[in-house]
Structure 1
């Protein structure tokens, strides 16, 4: 990324520093936002897509240990792990510099700085980011997989490796995570991409339909068989067969499927002649692999047959900034579909999104954005425009009571500091200890 395309955020409680950095950067970057209050970081990062954050390490001017800067550094990286953070301080403490880099800072600059040093550091980080762009699949126009979060990058790495092979793939994940899109992406990036991609929801097939749909039938094989019909295996010959909800088929259906996969041929109902098949098999299920391995429910020999490689699609609640990316994508998609013009998402809308559990994952988010666009009476979506279906009920997290004293103290300190938005004075007062004592505990627990 070039410097003139970059968005920069500067947070420092010294007005002179803000003015100096704004004057230095405003003519050289796309946009520079400055603010003296670190409590605005979250809302500003939701409103803008920053490439670099320049962050002071000490606020309030009371105790200059750098812990406040590291606290806000952790907040920033938690909200957006991909943003580069440059920490600045008037105290050239090499130990603090090393600690900040360990915590995720991209660089460390001592006040007073040289302008060339600031600009050089920003340029270097942007160039490095350009070389480390997130992996993207070479997908066709009908298949869109959106995600920059670390869990999705792990998925992309696996896809890049397995797609060109003929290995059988088992896709795992909750309902609504996009398992069908992943299956199509594997096919589109395989050597079979110009051959058929056939999807079957096998979990919805009865015993009778399972045989006729998958294997086909000859005319007269049963009462309504008025003509020959190819099964899905034969239709997918040379291409990819995607069996969705594989975890819901019966043991008898599993036995029939295993025979076909072992022999690589099918026999249509009403026929004595077997037909050779050449398919790449992809299966998907929302059943955890540990439950699938229960032989009373699923044959282990079939699991091994369909599971050369398994890919687990993360739930939306574990994908961090992808929620905002997907929300913007669906907003634009439905705004265009319904001819309602351009929309923007306000920070309170995004906050409400991020606080939601999304039991229905990407599908639930998609329908929520479609509903919001249809019902919107203005071009910027507020929190009140966002409603969630009662169909998806959030699951209460399972908590385990902590009994270790150090862990209890550490968790209490974290909770109080977050409650007070990083204000060390307020946190120390609420905890009933001095600021110095709180800092000692922050160092003790490496917070």
Structure 2
């Protein structure tokens, strides 16, 4: 199956067709004014003077957006809204009224309105609100359609992307997943390596067996051997009982070894032996254990360079590198950013029990222009922040993290600490930079040290000297 096979399905939601708007308002002058404005902007406009006429039109035709007056004769706009959303759950609705009280706004949003515009309106703002609402709902529809297509063709879950690099990756994953081969996934931090590993497992004959992920960089080296291979009672001081390792737990399934480039040379030798012989021994044990485990490994470092530097075994590299999948950085597939934003906004709105917010055009431009050093994980964190902080239904640039909008540490410090010395300011800036990077690395010190291009010991010294607060690292 070629990568282009799915492209028409993914792209159909954004086909450039005439946008159809329905206006329900009882004032002829308002209807005429809106029709003139929106027609000049290239929209196809249909008018209704009351709720009954509007409902009849909605039952017979499809529209991209509804402008609904609050104060209609008979049933009010808010009374009509539940019936409208039942007929067309995905139709964005903007309420318009001359009485924009807080209570009206709350009632309208709770009833399912996308936004609230007060008469007399600002033409530019109204047009921006309409375009934002339509773009968001088209992106949501595209995400749903894309997920359905990916599920149908590839059996992928929670993976979003229609860019050419991602479609090529999807084809490769679908091709190699049924095999028994070891797979190496390479890509920057935050690109979604574990999601791809899960997709490989889910599309393999091992799908009914365990998928066991382990972040080898997050497990202290002295505990990693016991974690992977298990131990017998008395193997070390705290080994009061025998315990199975993850290789045994994953027997028949898939073991995902993330950040494999951080392993010690001694552990690399042990992993190599399992790959070659499919046998290992418990720590402190004497009998060999046979296992059938598929290894999917991942790294955000250049293993070939690590081999040249003497930090990674060449024989293990070639054992792992049977099939290599390269995950593209988010900055190299920017066309996926709106889809990912829609996906994460829906997810976190549902998780927090809130209305799904929209992105203002200015905020979306910032997101599209940003370099995304933290990749999809950073974008996800950004969207979660937006959902939590948004109170107006629209995420504006001021709700985006400082590193996206160009705000600087030094300007903030100068405002709040005018009497601080240069040395104090430099220490505070360094503290904030380290804390910010640690958070974006999910508190993985090894990953942060690699980003800063300093030894791990140096980073640890700086963390202690600057009293950087370290939080518990969540699972990827």
Q: Give the TM-score normalised by structure 2.
A: 0.56
| 1:323 and 2:331 correspond | no
Q: Given that residues 8 and 31 in structure 1 are in contact (C-alpha distance below 8 angstroms), is that contact kept between their aligned partners in structure 2?
A: no
Equivalence for 2:387: 373
CA 46–182 in structure 1, closer or farther in 2 if over 3 Å, else same: farther
Question: Helix, strand or coil for the counterpart of 1:48?
Answer: helix
The Cα offsets for residues 50-103 of structure 1, whole Å up to 9 and x where unpaired, read as: 99xxxxxxxxxxxxxxxxxxxxxxxxxxxxxx9xxxxxxxxxxxxxxxxxxxxx
Equivalence for 1:258: 272
Equivalence for 2:372: 358
CA offset at residue 306 of structure 1? 1.1
Equivalence for 2:215: 201
CA offset at residue 301 of structure 1? 0.9
CA 46–188 in structure 1, closer or farther in 2 if over 3 Å, else same: same
Q: Given that residues 210 and 254 in structure 2 are in contact (C-alpha distance below 8 angstroms), is that contact kept between their aligned partners in structure 1?
A: yes
Equivalent position to 1:305, from 308, 319, 322:
319
Distance 2:13 2:384 in 1: 31
Distance 1:204 1:336 in 2: 30
Equivalence for 1:240: 254
CA 221–6 in structure 1, closer or farther in 2 if over 3 Å, else same: closer
Q: Given that residues 179 and 313 in structure 1 are in contact (C-alpha distance below 8 angstroms), is that contact kept between their aligned partners in structure 2?
A: yes
Between the two proteins, the alignment pairs up a number of residues equal to 299
Distance 2:350 2:396 in 1: 19
**How does 1:173-252 map onto structure 2 within 5 Å?**
173-252=187-266
Distance 2:173 2:335 in 1: 21
Q: Given that residues 221 and 263 in structure 2 are in contact (C-alpha distance below 8 angstroms), is that contact kept between their aligned partners in structure 1?
A: no
Distance 2:392 2:371 in 1: 26
CA 272–256 in structure 1, closer or farther in 2 if over 3 Å, else same: same
Distance 1:47 1:382 in 2: 17
Equivalence for 2:167: 153
Question: Helix, strand or coil for the counterpart of 2:185?
Answer: strand
| 1:48 and 2:56 correspond | no
Distance 1:247 1:277 in 2: 23
RMSD: 3.7
CA offset at residue 337 of structure 1? 1.4
Which 10-residue stretch deviates more, 197-206 or 330-339? Answer: 197-206
Equivalence for 1:271: 285
Q: Given that residues 181 and 294 in structure 2 are in contact (C-alpha distance below 8 angstroms), is that contact kept between their aligned partners in structure 1?
A: yes
The Cα offsets for residues 222-252 of structure 1, whole Å up to 9 and x where unpaired, read as: 2111111111111111110111100111222
Equivalence for 1:441: none
Distance 2:44 2:356 in 1: 32
Question: Helix, strand or coil for the counterpart of 1:184?
Answer: helix
| 1:8 and 2:12 correspond | no
Q: Give the TM-score normalised by structure 1.
A: 0.59
CA offset at residue 358 of structure 1? 0.9
CA offset at residue 290 of structure 1? 3.6
CA 334–22 in structure 1, closer or farther in 2 if over 3 Å, else same: closer
Distance 2:328 2:13 in 1: 32
CA 22–380 in structure 1, closer or farther in 2 if over 3 Å, else same: closer
Question: Helix, strand or coil for the counterpart of 1:238?
Answer: coil
